[in-house]
Amino acid sequence: MDAILVVNAGSSSLKFQVFSVDGGRRLDCIIKGQIDGVRTKPRMRAQDASKRPLIDRNFAPDEVPDLPAAIQVAANWLRESQNVDLLAVGHRVVHGGPTYDSPVFITSDVVTRLERYVSLAPLHQPNNLSPIRMLLSRRPELPQVACFDTAFHRGHSPAVDHYALPEELYEEGVRRYGFHGLSYEYIAQRLLEIAPDVANGRIIVAHLGSGASMCALHGGRSVESTLGFTALDGLPMGTRPGQLDPGVVLYLIGEKGMSPSAVQDMLYRECGLKALSGLSNDVRDLLKSSDPKAAFALEYFVYRAVLFTGMLVAALGGLDAFVFTAGIGENSPEIRARIAARLAWLGIALDPERNARGVQLISAPASRVKVFVIPTDEELMIARHTLGLLETKRGAQIRERAIL
């Protein structure tokens, strides 16, 4: 069967989904899988569309020593046991820099450009590029498409994109990019289907997960985001601090004698909820804990989400709808309720019973602002972009043959 493989590579895991292509534009997810414990205790699991297990297998560490090996294992299994004929592979790439404002076919030149942004997304970019390089080397005939988390925000006005720094730095690419764009793009499209009355209005989407951000949408487009040059800005996250006075970095280097690499490692891995609680970077653990520091970490998270909501409302000039998405946003009624309670001044009121069940619309009938819980689907967004580029390329080839 013809299919598109979507790959999301992490530091020690590879998530993948397979979408069948029926000859038109219909995409159906037929397989979801992942390989965890790369390099240490590799384990591959996958299930079909009905959640029936297809594989659950452990590997020796030397069988899956790195991410390229992981994608090779997954590709071999799909070809040999699932009869999948890949049309293309779509990849999530976190940082597209100033060069890429839309998905692109991957070449070695594209990879070289994307390597420039490794320092701007050190937790993500190297892992995103690793399986891409392997496939370019071993399957050069297989089309690959890069879909960027920054692309959806590239229509921002200059006042939104700029820092108050010398202009030459902006021209070099030191600017506010915003991230989680694939998630926000999916939510914008989904709202057109489920809430057309507000879909083109003034909307805030809270993508709350281990990585967290918020985005202001108007007319289905991003107009402002809490994230900027890197994925360290804005909301506190699992292990990242969120908004930080740059003077803190200068202090750590100048007064504490930390090297830039040590500061980078601390900011990406040792801050956020993990640092505030001293216990865990996982909101589920913190909600279960009776430790006062866990309670403080959650209070801080909620406070900052409310604070940034005010900023985004100002950017929009009002608010018609608020959307919770991603791991915390979709699965934590308590965090949703705590954020909503502190936004009562906006006219937000939740229906407690609907919020507890996590249904699609959780606001009370009297709420002036509609509040939704919408599961995000970045992988479907990547599959759509990948199929779209394939169709564009096919159409161009047909037109070229007609001219010849």
Closest CA to 64 of 35, 36, 39: 39
Describe the strand order of the beta sheet including 27-36 as a list of residue ranges.
53-58, 43-48, 27-36, 14-21, 2-9, 85-93, 144-148, 104-105
Which tokens belong to 150?
Answer: 């920054």
**3-state secondary structure string across 183-252:** HHHHHHHHHHHHCCCCCCCEEEEEECCCCCEEEEEECCEEEEECCCCCCCCCCCCCCCCCCCCHHHHHHH
**Which is it for strands 53-58 and 43-48: parallel, antiparallel or unpaired?**
antiparallel
Residues in the chain: 404
What contacts 253, CB < 8 A, 6 or more positions away?
Answer: 259, 260, 263
Identify whether the C-beta of residue 378 lies closer than 8 Å to the C-beta of residue 183. yes
CA distance 396 to 191: 32
Closest CA to 68 of 146, 7, 143, 6: 7
What DSSP element (H or E) covers 373? strand 370-373
Q: What does the DSSP assignment read for 273-330?
A: HHHHHSS-S-HHHHHH---HHHHHHHHHHHHHHHHHHHHHHHHHTS-SEEEEEHHHHH
Identify whether the C-beta of residue 306 lies closer than 8 Å to the C-beta of residue 276. no
Residue 393 — φ and ψ, nearest 5°?
A: -65, -40
Which tokens belong to 308?
Answer: 């940034």
Helix residue ranges, H only, 317-377: 326-331, 333-341, 352-357
Q: Please list the active-site residues.
A: 149
Residue 114 — φ and ψ, nearest 5°?
A: -70, -25
| CA 150, chain centre distance (Å) | 10
3-state secondary structure of 29: strand
